[in-house]
A and B are shown apart, each in its own frame.
Chain A
């Protein structure tokens, strides 16, 4: 069933990903061009007009170099990748994930990143202790941990320990409780 879902939905996606090098080079070109546009249109203050090095001197150089480099990457054949070299076999290239995607837990990886985004957005409202305990517990459950009676206390204890060390011992303020308590 799982393999079927992969072949129907994900494999066409990975065909597009086959030319990931090209897509990335295109993205780099867009980024360098955008950066170049901002550098060229950067408003120099009147007293900076006559400086030997203006605020946009280096950025313009970097943008031009970035554009040349990304065009070169765009025109370079895909075979430039080094995944098949002997050295990389020692630790394994990350391209292996794309070569046989059905062997990996994509849902868990992407789910974890989404959970991290939710954690980042909720930290302010929920406070450090609650948001962190929930993030660690839900993260563990998402990855397949079933012993919630161990996971939950460990997550709560870890959140408290980090908060105590940072806020109480090192005196770096970190709001422990939800925003509502401070209004």
Chain B
């Protein structure tokens, strides 16, 4: 075992592999910032180039670097312009963007960079220590447990249901779930609710909805206030590029990072769960654990609310390598593409990989430490410059934000209908914001809706009824947890209000 690990260290820390890990992180971060190009697209794009390298370890090290670089890159557009281009970074915008609106963009990007680094590094340590054991735990999760896990993920909407907006948050979640049923589904044979439109056959695309709900209203409201924005002076510019976090803030986020690294990693290990569920769940759990005065800040620019999903999604992307490398099961779209790359290189991931090609297995794991350090070194010095995007005059910034959002939906599809749909969602979101409806629950419902229905359907078919809910202990525990996550904070707020 130790010999194999040493072999892995030797392979990972050759100059060539270190350079490729750094290159992967850099490319992933830059391309990941573009909405519409999430980790899966970026890794897919890089495959033809990386396979040319020939060496399986180097190829996998490069692609792994691209993967976690893209996850981090996606959080930048979420934080700065409220444009989450990937489902895994939606939860980052919940508190990251309010921090930007408060003039703390630099701080938000720094917290995101540190949380990503910590999540990725702790994830790599757990991967090294527990990969084979966790692989057998992951396959204990069946559809019933996944369905229950989706319910726990959906409980994140409770974070937006406070302050007298319970019904509104619930309605928005239902709308998101309804939109998720449009188009083809893996469970059924014909597309549903397409209204005869060919463009809706494959369903509503995540980027179209996310950009419509978040980025379009942002551009609209900035345009309403365009004259005020012009007065922003050098003091404001200094403030947004200030990346310092004080000791108190560091102490506040440290336990969050610790908890979410482990929780995110464990969720990432389960095939099909991945970084998106991990980030929503991380957000929900931390909100429930927060003190009442801290809980009020969630959704309004809480540093805990930013650190939790950022740590969890990076830890989960590391965790998703467990089923890939140890069982040959791709847990997500991105790892499925990585599996394809490995097969193209004549490698068969699975239990025999560790035995036959230990240098590949361990070098990928060790390169993750290096990759995470590179990500931090690469990103922290860039934070002030990235944050200065916000100091660009609004007459330039606003059309660019709108263009950036529309380009995300247009890239790869060349379909103008997608853009019209995006603008339609944008107008809807503007009206909803006037009426004080929370928009994140709609996106949470949409993202988890498809998985929710697929797993619920499979669980019902397997059990021929809903008795799986009480027959499978893990399912029952998760469903009860989801109910507690939703009901308890509401009950607590209600009691507190009554006491006043």
Question: B171 at the A/B interface (Cβ < 8 Å)?
Answer: yes
Query: Contact: B163 with A112, CB < 8 Å?
Result: no
List, in ascending order, chain A residues with CB within 8 A of B2's CB: none
Question: A177 at the A/B interface (Cβ < 8 Å)?
Answer: no
List, in ascending order, chain B residues with CB within 8 A of A109's CB: 220-221, 223-224
Per the 8 Å Cβ criterion, residues 219-238 of B in contact with A are 219-221, 223-227, 230
> Which residue in chain A gives the minimum CB-CB distance to B396?
A140
> Which residue in chain B gives the minimum CB-CB distance to A63?
B178
Query: Contact: A105 with B224, CB < 8 Å?
Result: yes
A87 CB contact (under 8 Å) in B177, B300, B423: B300
Q: Bits for B283-312, please: 1 = Cβ < 8 Å to A, else 0.
A: 000000000000011001100000000000
List, in ascending order, chain B residues with CB within 8 A of A140's CB: 395-396, 399
Query: Contact: B399 with A51, CB < 8 Å?
Result: no
Question: A182 at the A/B interface (Cβ < 8 Å)?
Answer: no
The CA of A170 and the CA of B336, in the complex, are separated in Å by 20
Nearest CB of chain A from residue B264's CB, rounded to whole Å: 27
Nearest CB of chain B from residue A70's CB, rounded to whole Å: 6
The CA of A35 and the CA of B195, in the complex, are separated in Å by 11
B434 CB contact (under 8 Å) in A38, A85, A97: A97
> Which residue in chain B gives the minimum CB-CB distance to A128?
B410
Q: Bits for B145-189, please: 1 = Cβ < 8 Å to A, else 0.
A: 000000000000000000111011011001101100100010111
Nearest CB of chain B from residue A173's CB, rounded to whole Å: 7
The CA of A80 and the CA of B3, in the complex, are separated in Å by 65
Query: Contact: A174 with B411, CB < 8 Å?
Result: yes
The CA of A151 and the CA of B465, in the complex, are separated in Å by 63
The CA of A145 and the CA of B187, in the complex, are separated in Å by 52
The CA of A42 and the CA of B195, in the complex, are separated in Å by 11
The CA of A142 and the CA of B126, in the complex, are separated in Å by 54
Per the 8 Å Cβ criterion, residues 18-76 of A in contact with B are 20-21, 24, 28, 31-32, 35, 38, 42, 45, 48, 51-53, 55-56, 58-59, 62-63, 65-66, 69-70, 72-73, 76
Question: A95 at the A/B interface (Cβ < 8 Å)?
Answer: yes
List, in ascending order, chain A residues with CB within 8 A of B63's CB: none
The CA of A171 and the CA of B414, in the complex, are separated in Å by 13
B178 CB contact (under 8 Å) in A51, A55, A59, A143: A59
For the side of the interface on A, what is the size category?
35 or more
Query: Contact: A112 with B399, CB < 8 Å?
Result: yes
Query: Contact: A116 with B402, CB < 8 Å?
Result: yes
Question: B267 at the A/B interface (Cβ < 8 Å)?
Answer: no
A123 CB contact (under 8 Å) in B165, B230, B410, B436: B410
Per the 8 Å Cβ criterion, residues 61-117 of A in contact with B are 62-63, 65-66, 69-70, 72-73, 76, 80-83, 85-88, 90-91, 93-95, 97-98, 104-106, 108-109, 112-113, 116-117
Give the size of the chain B interface in residues (CB under 8 angstroms): 76
The CA of A165 and the CA of B168, in the complex, are separated in Å by 41
Question: B492 at the A/B interface (Cβ < 8 Å)?
Answer: no
Query: Contact: A53 with B457, CB < 8 Å?
Result: yes
List, in ascending order, chain A residues with CB within 8 A of B227's CB: 105, 144
Query: Contact: B226 with A108, CB < 8 Å?
Result: yes
List, in ascending order, chain B residues with CB within 8 A of A129's CB: none
Query: Contact: B431 with A20, CB < 8 Å?
Result: yes
Known A73-B168, A117-B423, A119-B406: A95·B177 in contact at CB below 8 Å: no
List, in ascending order, chain A residues with CB within 8 A of B410's CB: 123, 174
Question: B403 at the A/B interface (Cβ < 8 Å)?
Answer: yes
Query: Contact: A151 with B396, CB < 8 Å?
Result: yes
The CA of A140 and the CA of B163, in the complex, are separated in Å by 38
The CA of A66 and the CA of B435, in the complex, are separated in Å by 18
Known A65-B174, A145-B396: A58·B453 in contact at CB below 8 Å: yes
Query: Contact: B407 with A21, CB < 8 Å?
Result: no
List, in ascending order, chain A residues with CB within 8 A of B98's CB: 90-91
Query: Contact: A81 with B414, CB < 8 Å?
Result: no
The CA of A143 and the CA of B491, in the complex, are separated in Å by 47
List, in ascending order, chain A residues with CB within 8 A of B457's CB: 53, 58
Nearest CB of chain A from residue B479's CB, rounded to whole Å: 16
List, in ascending order, chain A residues with CB within 8 A of B433's CB: 94
Query: Contact: A108 with B224, CB < 8 Å?
Result: yes
A62 CB contact (under 8 Å) in B168, B181, B300: B181
Question: B244 at the A/B interface (Cβ < 8 Å)?
Answer: no
List, in ascending order, chain A residues with CB within 8 A of B193's CB: 35, 38, 59
List, in ascending order, chain A residues with CB within 8 A of B412's CB: 172
Query: Contact: A24 with B45, CB < 8 Å?
Result: no
Query: Contact: A52 with B461, CB < 8 Å?
Result: yes
Known A80-B165, A145-B393: A123·B416 in contact at CB below 8 Å: yes
Query: Contact: A73 with B171, CB < 8 Å?
Result: yes
Known A69-B174, A105-B224: A55·B190 in contact at CB below 8 Å: yes
B174 CB contact (under 8 Å) in A66, A76, A98: A66
Per the 8 Å Cβ criterion, residues 138-183 of A in contact with B are 139-140, 143-145, 151, 154, 158, 162, 165-166, 170-175
List, in ascending order, chain A residues with CB within 8 A of B461's CB: 51-53
Query: Contact: A91 with B101, CB < 8 Å?
Result: yes
Question: B102 at the A/B interface (Cβ < 8 Å)?
Answer: yes
List, in ascending order, chain B residues with CB within 8 A of A73's CB: 167-168, 171
List, in ascending order, chain A residues with CB within 8 A of B296's CB: 86-87
List, in ascending order, chain B residues with CB within 8 A of A136's CB: 399-400, 403
> Which residue in chain A gives the minimum CB-CB distance to B438?
A82
Q: List 19 additional A-B contacts (Cβ < 8 Å) besides A66-B175, A97-B221, A144-B230.
A: A20-B434, A35-B178, A55-B185, A58-B181, A70-B171, A80-B168, A81-B435, A87-B163, A94-B221, A94-B433, A94-B436, A106-B224, A112-B219, A112-B402, A113-B220, A116-B426, A120-B420, A170-B37, A173-B414
5 nearest A-B pairs in the assembled complex, by CB-CB distance: A139-B399, A120-B419, A145-B395, A82-B163, A104-B224
